[in-house]
Structure 1
Amino acid sequence: MPENSNENSNENKRTALVTGANKGIGYEIAAGLARLGFRVGVGARDAVRRADAVDKLRADGLDVFGVPLDVTDDVSVAAAAAQLQARGGLDVLVNNAAITGGMPQDPSKVSAEQVLSVVDTNVVGVIRVTNAVLPMLRRATSPRIVNVSSTVGSLTLQTAQAAAVGPVSAVYSPTKSYLNAVTVQYAKELAGTGILVNAGCPGFVATDLNGHQGTRTPEQGAAVFLALATLPDSGPTGTFRDEDGIQPW
């Protein structure tokens, strides 16, 4: 079955887009949202992995479709937005796509090119995608923007619990700090529009990003983002949380 097939279309369903959804936490967020009744766009830049993920999710009876999407490319992002518009719009955006930039990341040794490449994916990519789909979210009934962040981006926790929030990281961790700051600014701009904007941390999940050294499963890590994506209209905006609740920026 083609990955963009619409055979399971239901006009009353809400639509979600998850970036970087072909594996790991993103895949489990896509699966979880579909199980909650969403039609889910599986955003990924690798065509083979995207198609494989769509096929696997559909084999479980889930309503998903593939969205070719490279968050670092303006043309790709615009095409993804056009695809979603043609399918009826968007209700929930989960910005999950991210890269680490490789380790080690001692600040005295990282290169400008290394830093800029990770910022382009982890921060600018979020802004590209969010702004491209924002007109659709403004028209949605209960729109949500969910940013996949990490406690390694919390300046408070980095200072107070340095040993508990990962190794020295002058590239990846600061991009999550930047993403947290961007989340706050979107929440401020969109206050009163009904669009709730929040960030979350999945915990130490075993994924490709950490060489599968994590202690949590991707499904466990996805739970906080499913909660943020389905907040009631009276829910909070501009927060950063993990499974234990609100965390400091």
Structure 2
Amino acid sequence: MTITLITGANRSLGLETTRRLIDAGHTVHAGMRDPADGDAARALGAHVLQLDVTDSASVEAAFARLPGLDVLVNNAGILGTAFGVDDLDVADLSSVLETNVLGVVRVTQAALPLLRRSAGAVIVNVASGVGWPRYLVDETHDEYPVKAVPYAASKAALIALTVQYAKNLPDMRVNASDPGYTATDFNRHSGHQTVTEGTDATVALATIGRDGPTGEFHDRKGRIEF
């Protein structure tokens, strides 16, 4: 039995990842700030878990309830409210980093004792091509028009964080996924991919074996070269 925790699992990419990993045979604990929003996850057969990645007490309480852990999917994230330089302030940047970067560290550090007991521990950090500088300067990529500073900065940090965790945890598989331009609430459903397509990379990385890649960044087509 593979025990999996997914943060931000109540909707969009998190909910679809929950569905697909349950279908793959995982026992999924669906983390979310408000369990009252968990009916869709419960209907899939997930165990709903109150988990606010910005709250250390919430994270600690959530892990105290887990029977074990093999796979951690750090999916929770926010877009923020600053979409350019003119509306940018430190408070908004701090808020986005708190969830998208510090939240991942908070959850991952709490998960390590359980993951270290697993025979095949896996961590997947859901990042974004918006955090990939090469995409941001290439007019042929969907990410090029994006000017939002906090979100891009947070996802760039998350990719680097993933690489460093992988180097420090050689017995685990630690990777980052890029959902791509997927129709979600983040973009008012303007993306050209379905949520299933947007979870392809995350699901593939969450189901790798002990001989799978680590310290890599993948989209649904495979590895994105550094």
Q: Counterpart in 2 of 1:246?
A: 223
1:54 to 41, 44, 66: 41
2:160 to 157, 176, 181: 181
Q: Counterpart in 2 of 1:134?
A: 112
Residue 210 of structure 1 pairs with residue 187 of structure 2: yes
How far did 1:218 drift?
A: 1.1
- How many residues were matched structurally? 225
Q: What is the percent sequence identity of the aligned residues?
A: 43
What do residues 49-70 of structure 1 show as CA deviations (whole Å, max 9, x unaligned)?
12x1233213xxxxx2011000
- CA-atom RMSD in angstroms: 1.4
The one-letter amino acid paired with 1:243 is R
Q: Counterpart in 1 of 2:62?
A: 80
Q: Counterpart in 2 of 1:30?
A: 18
1:87-106 counterparts in 2 under 5 A?
87=67, 89-103=68-82, 105-106=83-84
Cα distance in 2 for partners of 1:164, 1:15 equals 34
Q: Which runs of 4+ in 1 moved over 4 A?
A: none
How far did 1:173 drift?
A: 0.9
What do residues 120-168 of structure 1 show as CA deviations (whole Å, max 9, x unaligned)?
0000000000000111101101110000011110012223347631421
Structure number with greater Rg is: 1
Is contact 2:15–2:41 with CA below 8 Å preserved after alignment?
no
Distance of aligned partners of 1:163 and 1:139 in 2 relative to their CA distance in 1, 3 Å threshold: closer
SS in 1 for 2:199: helix
How far did 1:209 drift?
A: 1.0
The one-letter amino acid paired with 1:218 is V
The one-letter amino acid paired with 1:155 is P
Residue 16 of structure 1 pairs with residue 14 of structure 2: no
Residue 155 of structure 1 pairs with residue 133 of structure 2: yes
Distance of aligned partners of 1:198 and 1:138 in 2 relative to their CA distance in 1, 3 Å threshold: same
Q: Which runs of 5+ in 2 are unaligned?
A: none
How far did 1:243 drift?
A: 1.3
TM value normalised by structure 2: 0.95
What do residues 46-94 of structure 1 show as CA deviations (whole Å, max 9, x unaligned)?
22112x1233213xxxxx201100000000000111111xx2x100000
